[in-house]
Amino acid sequence: MEKEVLEKYEKARKVSDEILPFAKSLVKEGASILEVAERIENKIKELGAKPAFPINISINEVAAHYTPDINDQTLIKSGDLVKVDIGVQVDGYIWDRAFSISIGQENQLIKASEKALEEAIKVVKPGIKVFEISEIIEDTVTSLGFNTIKNLSGHGLERFNQHAFPSIPNSKNTIKAEIKDQVIAIEVFVTDGSGYVKESSPTLIYKFKQNKPVRMYEARKILEMAKSEFDFLPFTKRWIKGIPPLKIDMALRQLLEVDSIVDFPVLREISGKKVAQSEETLIVE
């Protein structure tokens, strides 16, 4: 990796190192998730970086892709299993991490996801194949009596691309792609439910896909923001300033219709059981 690129990754990692304990200190009973998300995002900016995507705060059976909207009144309550997924980017170079906290009680799902992540990190070295990482993740989790989420994966990270090749599934597979000279995120999801997530409402996160002619002025404005302000990376309605909420919804619908943006609906565990998540980014070289 070029020295310049490595320095940017180092900076993103350092900001992430500061953000993680700060974020953990905010996740407690009675806290507003809107406030938690905004405080984390603001702190990332104060430290000279940018959020690589809206802070995901996904609770209980919601596995991923939940970020509070401007009117979100959700408070964290006792017994909640709260997952916080945080991407920090410096000039497009992304450090992606997630942790889980159980409010007011121990939770074995979290321990299993942390253990599986730890075991996976131990074996990652240049030349390791995707299926070898997946196998360790699934074996560790099942040995502790739980299921991984089979249709969620770790992933490569590239400049301005938060989900690059290869996909690193949480379940056993035959993918022989070798990991080397690249940056990857190992992302473990554990549940005591059936082990699959499905897309469900609401949709809160979007991302630029391609330029297309679109009628509505506000839609053109949002597309412009998606590029210049949000760097072609995922964004949320909460980040769109200066447009009334109703118009934002109409504009996003129009952009989806013409295939100019993609959406990331909330992912819920299909049997409604709790999900824990642990994620770490690694430079493999």
Active-site residues, by number, are 85, 96, 155, 163, 187, 279
- Distances in Å between the Cα of 79 and the Cα atoms of 102, 107, 149 are 6, 9, 21
**Minimum distance between the CB of residue 242 and Co ion, rounded to whole angstroms?**
30
Q: Which one among 82, 137, 185, 248 touches Co ion, defined by CB under 5 A?
A: 185
Q: How far is CA 267 from the centre of its chain?
A: 11
CA 215 to chain centre: 32
Q: 181-220 burial, b for 16+ CB within 10 Å, e for fewer?
A: ebbbbbbbbbbbbebbbeeeeebbbbbbbeeeebeeebbb
| Binding residues for Co ion, total number by CB under 5 A | 3
Residue 17's CB is within 10 A of a number of other CB atoms, namely: 12
Which one of 66-74, 181-189, 221-229, 241-249 is the stretch in contact with Co ion (CB under 5 A)? 181-189
Amino acid at 140: T
Q: Give the residue with the Cβ less far from Co ion, 96 or 138.
A: 96
Site string for Co ion, 129-168 (x = CB under 5 A): ----------------------------------------
Binder among 72, 187, 269, 280 for Co ion (CB under 5 A): 187
Beta pairing class for 161-169 and 93-102 = unpaired
Please say which residue, 50 or 254, places its beta carbon nearer to Co ion.
50
Residue ranges in 85-114 that form contacts with Co ion under rule CB under 5 A: 96
Judged by beta carbon, residue 184 or residue 222, the one nearer Co ion is 184
Residue 192 C-beta: closest distance to Co ion, Å: 22
In degrees rounded to 5, what are phi and psi of residue 270? -70, -25
Q: Which of residues 266-285 bind Co ion (CB under 5 A)?
A: none
Residues forming contacts to Co ion in the complex (CB under 5 A) are: 96, 185, 187
